[in-house]
Structure 1
């Protein structure tokens, strides 16, 4: 059985669908082209060899558990994208993720986005009054900065 080592997106594609790259765990680099606005749920789940992702400026949404269990991933730079939403568990258990940068366009920060990302210490958030969803809260919106700081403190203890 051949192993998938490269994924090519067609020019007019605007969304990477849910479970799009299922079982392509040997990919090392993912280059998502300009024009893609949404990366669906579980699209790159369990890509244990994935080390680098190039995100397009057009990107607005990263789905639930999209990059969960990408254990070789060390850096994610979304600063030059238009990302407004990080879905629940988007980077769950990315154990080697050390550096994360998000843009000021971020509006929705899902639950447990960085759960079990033990190496993540510098998290660069360029937001002023952005919010996170909280399934255990009666309030609909919770300040992103307080949630992330609480999460990072729990990682250090």
Structure 2
């Protein structure tokens, strides 16, 4: 991901609405008043990966972020996907990854039934990159659940909350960059991120780690925690045997405060 410095905040235009069909959760996305056509006459400020962090990119793509989910470009309605492809061709934008490998993250929670569905699990296996829109403050609950090919995540400044189970079962995740603005990490956020070796929160304003956040992070060798961190859920470091000496318990029901005290003693 590119540098986050100097990026302007952006409020997404409300160009879509939901129609309730009278069946509870059965709702239909309806798009109207898209700004895509007007964007065609403007020239982007940059190309490649840099373009993802410009107002031009957000103007083109924010209309396509569903209210309740993350959307890979291949999951878009074919009509809208063709519009996006056409406009990018006109703007001569060359993205480093194909559409199927890019997620546009709108900051919303993903509902449990959707997050654990077989279709979504298969779709998330295609994800190797995430683009965070700059008008959000939270990584949504279950946002990147089962993104097993995700290796690096750079969370932009201004984000304050990492939601529950947001990166759970991201088994290839090796590096995550946290912003200074971070205050809270929800329960099970990094559960079974078995390739994660290092977590640095020292520069953040993190005050709370949720239940079982790093459970089964079996490769975790180093973790730096800030003085601001005061609230801990149960079993945060369950099975993190490489993180502490063998005489410190990280089994079921372990004393999280003792583990944190040890980590602070070696910082």
Deviation at 1:25, TM superposition (A): 1.5
Any idea what the Cα deviations from partners look like across 1:92-117, whole Å, max 9, x if unmatched? 10000000010000110111100001
**What's the Cα RMSD here?**
2.1
Give the structure 2 partner of residue 87 of structure 1.
210
- Decide which of 89, 113, 121 is 2:236's aligned counterpart: 113
CA distance in 2, matches of 1:14, 1:8: 14
Match of 2:200 in 1: 77
| 2:177 maps to 1:54 | yes
Contact 2:169/2:190 (<8 A) preserved: yes
1:29-68 CA-to-partner distances (Å, cap 9, x unmatched) read: 0100000000000000011100000000000000100001
Q: Give the alignment of 1:92-103 within 5 angstroms.
A: 92-103=215-226
Equivalent of residue 22 in structure 1, options 136, 145, 153: 145
Contact 2:190 2:213 in 1 (8 A): yes
Q: 1:70 to 1:143 in 2, by over 3 A?
A: closer
Count of residue correspondences: 131
Q: Helix, strand or coil: the match of 2:176?
A: strand
Residue 23 (structure 1) shift: 2.6
1:45 is aligned to 168
Whole-angstrom distance in 1 between the partners of 2:172 and 2:135: 28
Report what 1:128 is aligned to: none
Q: How far apart in 1 are the matches of 2:140 and 2:214? A: 17
C-alpha deviation, 1:15, in angstroms: 0.5
User: Normalization by structure 1: what TM-score?
Assistant: 0.77
Q: Distance in 2 between matches of 1:72 and 1:148?
A: 21
For structure 1, the 5+ residue unaligned runs are: 123-135, 137-141, 151-157
Residue 131 of structure 1: aligned partner: none
- Structure number with larger C-alpha Rg: 2
Which of 63, 67, 82 does residue 190 from structure 2 map onto?
Answer: 67
Report the CA distance between 1:149 and its aligned residue: 6.2
Whether the 8 Å contact between 2:187 and 2:213 is mirrored in structure 1 is: yes
